[in-house]
Amino acid sequence: MCFNILYSIFNCLLDYYGPQGWWPVYSLRLSGGRDKRGYLPNPSDYSRRNIIAGLSSRDVFEIAVGAVLTQNTSWKNVEKALENLESAGLLDCRAVMDASATALADAVRPSGYYNQKAKKLKVLARFFSERGNPDNGNPPSREDLLELWGVGKETADSILLYAYGLPFFVVDAYTKRMFKRLGILTGDEEYDEIAAAFTSALGEDPGLFNEYHALIVRHGREHCRKKPLCKGCVLRMNNLCSF
DNA sequence: TCCCAGGGGCCGA
DNA sequence: TCGGCCCATGGG
């Protein structure tokens, strides 16, 4: 995997869609530093410091919660669940630990798999509570996260990248599908193999990883769907994809 | 009505 | 190790 082609794809998507400003943080939507959807208003500089600047321990917890809730689920449904959690006072580590399983499941119902996800949030809350505040200056190790029931590689990497600004490339279904169609992946690669290939080609740049993953998701939703919508695909128009 | 969405765990072969 | 199945709501 070479830097040039990956960077051409990135630039093409960035030119077309613009900066995505991930990760949206619900608790900051109505306060300074974010727009009303919780996105960074001017996400042009994605240094690690900027990614994690202004993230409170509560925000870090919220990003971890969002990473679990979005498992196999559209973000729109996750937002509803996050709103329910917020209005029930459950976007808080301690509160999740104290909440009943029913109350939690009820709040996260719109995101689907609500019984499973309620359990996962309990596990997450216990983890953060035991290691002190989910402070973004004190990141957990990937191994620690992977030991948690309900946290797999994509979820762990999302937390490390988006909550802690660490250079972990997030590989999801969109990444595999899109780069297979681009002829860069065969489709048989393991998660860690793909992540390592991106990391060694692009360099350990959390800002770039952040924006790249967000753009992949955007393009995957709008064009590179399971049933591809090649008409109007910017990668195709720029001769980067011949699928 | 059917398909799909920013996965992960479990189990049998 | 790997495939198949389960978890489940909401939108197109």
Cα–Cα distance measured from residue A213 to residue A20, given in angstroms and rounded to the nearest whole number: 10
Q: Is the pLDDT score of A44 beyond 60?
A: no
pLDDT in tens, A166-190: 999 999 999 999 999 999 999 999 9
pLDDT in tens, A51-110: 566 678 888 999 999 999 999 999 999 999 999 999 999 999 999 999 999 999 999 999
Listed in sequence order, the residues at least 6 apart from A238 whose beta carbon sits closer than 8 Å to its beta carbon are: A12
> What pLDDT score does A115 carry?
97
Task: Give the nearest nucleotide to A188, CA to C1'.
Answer: C2
pLDDT in tens, A13-24: 999 998 887 887
Q: Is the pLDDT score of A49 beyond 60?
A: no
> Which residue is listed with tokens 């608790």?
A27
Task: Give the nearest nucleotide to A74, CA to C1'.
Answer: B5
Q: Is the pLDDT score of A34 beyond 70?
A: no
Task: Give the nearest nucleotide to A66, CA to C1'.
Answer: B6
pLDDT in tens, A96-115: 999 999 999 999 999 999 99
Cα–Cα distance measured from residue A207 to residue A189, given in angstroms and rounded to the nearest whole number: 25
The tokens describing A220, both together, are 């995957």
Task: From the CA of A96 to the C1' of B10: give the distance in Å.
Answer: 26
CB A57 within 8 A of CB A66: no
Q: Is the pLDDT score of A201 beyond 80?
A: yes
Say if pTM beats, i.e. exceeds, 0.75.
yes
CB A204 within 8 A of CB A167: yes
Scanning residues 13 through 72 of protein chain A, those with a beta carbon under 7 Å from any atom of strand C turn out to be: 72
Task: From the CA of A86 to the C1' of B11: give the distance in Å.
Answer: 37
